[in-house]
């Protein structure tokens, strides 16, 4: 016979917190975790790092990104300790030399992930334990425009299939393996294409930051049906920059307006034609692009990877971080 559940028991059950793999923190709670970490950046340096339309200031750096740099410094130190323990275990059979600590930064177009990545690079490089910090964006691994057109993927630019995923994964794998030099293609937002005569060379950094829309995507099965290694499998830590879809759309349109007044004015700009029409016509194009490409990519490919991140940084309507969720160990 099953005993009846009393109202008090039901109430107690409902009041128990929902099980989650994350520790959820308010901005104030997170900010307190910076302890006595000094602020190494000036207002002018933050201004240079800030992306178009972003509102990051010294208060945001102090409250959000200083604690994150301290946490990452602790992670790097713990990883070194773990490697030393493994070397002790292996003895002469195969000890490891130091390899870079790899951080992934993911999120939607216009959410501010590029600014986050640049801030992390600047802050982490000020720690004496890891002064060599490199930042690589996955834009350089987009297929060249000629290939995108040939494959009918111009309207899918930014979707997982528009990247040379094998080359991107191999690049990060080679850096992680400790190769002396590894090079990556360079992308130009001005001409909206890969620069064929330029390469970015990474030389054994202490930390590598990889920033992009789809860096947390799980591996896809190969043609032989076997599951391949995913880019995120090489990450030691990952950050997902999150916000409501409606807010990101508004930021996207605001950024488009500013670009129309600035970068799009360059005669070499791929988007210069949108400076030759009325603002309303240009914004109609931007809204259509958001709805058919960027929003679709966010909902189908980017947002579903949020739960794979080590840290989720949630922004409010004003672009400022409100809450953070840190994965438990």
Q: Where is the binding site, in residues?
A: 107-114
Cβ atoms of 281 and 256 closer than 8 Å: no
Rg of the chain on CA atoms, in Å: 22
Cβ atoms of 221 and 228 closer than 8 Å: yes
Residue entry with tokens 């009041």: 15
Cβ atoms of 288 and 272 closer than 8 Å: no
Per DSSP, 292 falls in state I
End-to-end CA distance of the chain: 40
Structure tokens at 314: 């949630």
Tell me the residue length of the chain: 329
Task: Supply angle C-alpha 88, 90, 91, rounded to 5.
Answer: 65
Residue positions forming the annotated binding site for ATP: 107-114
Residue entry with tokens 């600590």: 101
Alpha-carbon torsion (260, 136, 68, 215), positive or negative: positive
CB-based contacts of 263, cutoff 8 Å, min separation 6: 189, 190, 269, 271
Backbone dihedral region of 163: left (phi > 0), alpha (psi from -120 to 50 degrees) or beta?
A: beta
């Amino acid at each position: 016979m099953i005993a009846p559940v009393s109202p008090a028991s039901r109430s107690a059950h409902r009041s128990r917190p929902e099980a989650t793999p994350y520790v959820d923190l308010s901005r104030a709670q997170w900010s307190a975790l910076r302890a006595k970490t000094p602020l190494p950046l000036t207002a002018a340096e933050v201004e240079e790092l800030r992306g178009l339309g972003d509102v990051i200031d010294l208060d945001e750096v102090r409250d959000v990104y200083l604690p994150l740099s301290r946490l990452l410094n602790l992670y790097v130190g713990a990883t070194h300790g773990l490697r030393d323990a493994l070397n002790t275990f292996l003895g002469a059979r195969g000890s490891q030399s130091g390899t870079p600590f790899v951080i992934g930064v993911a999120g939607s177009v216009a959410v501010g992930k590029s600014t986050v990545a640049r801030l992390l690079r600047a802050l982490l490089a000020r720690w004496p334990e890891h002064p060599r910090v490199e930042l690589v964006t996955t834009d350089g691994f987009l297929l060249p425009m000629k290939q995108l057109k040939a494959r009918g993927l111009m309207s899918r630019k930014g979707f997982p299939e528009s990247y040379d995923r094998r080359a991107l994964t191999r690049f990060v794998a080679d850096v992680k393996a400790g190769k002396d030099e590894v090079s990556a293609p360079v992308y130009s937002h001005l001409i909206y294409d890969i620069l064929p005569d330029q390469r970015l060379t990474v030389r054994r950094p202490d930390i590598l930051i990889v920033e992009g829309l789809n860096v947390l995507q799980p591996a896809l099965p190969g043609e032989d049906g076997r599951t391949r290694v995913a880019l995120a499998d090489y990450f030691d830590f990952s950050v997902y920059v999150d916000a409501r879809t409606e807010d990101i759309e508004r930021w996207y349109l605001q950024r488009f307006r500013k670009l129309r007044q600035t970068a799009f004015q360059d005669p070499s700009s791929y988007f210069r034609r949108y400076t030759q029409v009325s603002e309303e016509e240009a914004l109609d194009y931007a809204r259509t692009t958001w709805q058919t490409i960027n929003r679709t990519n966010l909902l189908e490919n980017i947002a579903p990877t949020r739960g794979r991140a080590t840290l989720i940084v949630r922004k409010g309507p004003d672009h400022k971080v409100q809450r953070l969720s840190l994965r438990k160990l």
